[in-house]
Amino acid sequence: MRQVTDHRLDNPALASLTGPHARFAERRGRVLRYPREVSWFVALPDDPVAADWEDLAALAGPGNRALLPASAAVPPAGWGVEWRLEGFQMVLEDHDDASAVPHQEVLRLGAADVQEMLALAERTRPGPFHPRTIELGTYYGIRRGGELVAMAGERLRPPGWAETSAVCTAATHRGQGLAARLVRAVVAGARNRGDRSFLHVTADNIRAVRLYESLGFRVRRRTAFTMVRVPAPARRA
- pLDDT tens, residue by residue, 210-231: 999 999 999 999 999 999 999 9
Residue 57, pLDDT above cutoff 60: yes
Cα separation, 20 vs 35, whole angstroms: 15
Instruction: Dump strand ranges (E) for the chain.
Output: 26-28, 31-33, 42-43, 65-68, 80-92, 107-108, 139-144, 147-154, 161-169, 196-202, 217-229
- pLDDT, position 229: 96
- pLDDT, position 25: 98
- pLDDT, position 98: 45
- pLDDT, position 177: 96
Q: Regarding beta strands 196-202 and 80-92, do their DSSP bridges make them parallel or antiparallel, or are they unpaired?
A: antiparallel
Tell me how crowded residue 34 is: count the other CB atoms within 10 A of its CB: 25
N residues, the chain: 237
Question: Residue 42, SS3?
Answer: strand
- pLDDT, position 138: 98
Residue 174, pLDDT above cutoff 50: yes
- pLDDT, position 156: 98
Residue 170, pLDDT above cutoff 80: yes
Q: What is the DSSP letter of 97?
A: G
- pLDDT tens, residue by residue, 127-158: 999 999 999 999 999 999 999 999 999 999 99
The chain-wide mean pLDDT, for the chain, equals 93
- pLDDT, position 234: 59
- Strand-pairing partners, residue 202, are 87
Average pLDDT of 58-87? 94
Has this prediction a pTM greater than 0.75?
Answer: yes
Which one, of 189, 141, 195, 136, lies nearest residue 167 by Cα?
Answer: 141
- Tell which wins on pLDDT, 81 or 100: 81
Cα separation, 188 vs 117, whole angstroms: 21
- pLDDT, position 6: 83
CA angle 45, 46, 50 (to 5 degrees): 60
Average pLDDT of 63-82? 94
Residue 63, pLDDT above cutoff 50: yes
- pLDDT, position 120: 98
Residue 235, pLDDT above cutoff 80: no
Average pLDDT of 66-87? 94
- pLDDT tens, residue by residue, 94-104: 655 544 556 78
Do the beta carbons of residue 152 and residue 139 sit within 8 Å? yes
Cα separation, 138 vs 34, whole angstroms: 17
- pLDDT tens, residue by residue, 24-50: 999 999 999 999 999 999 999 999 999
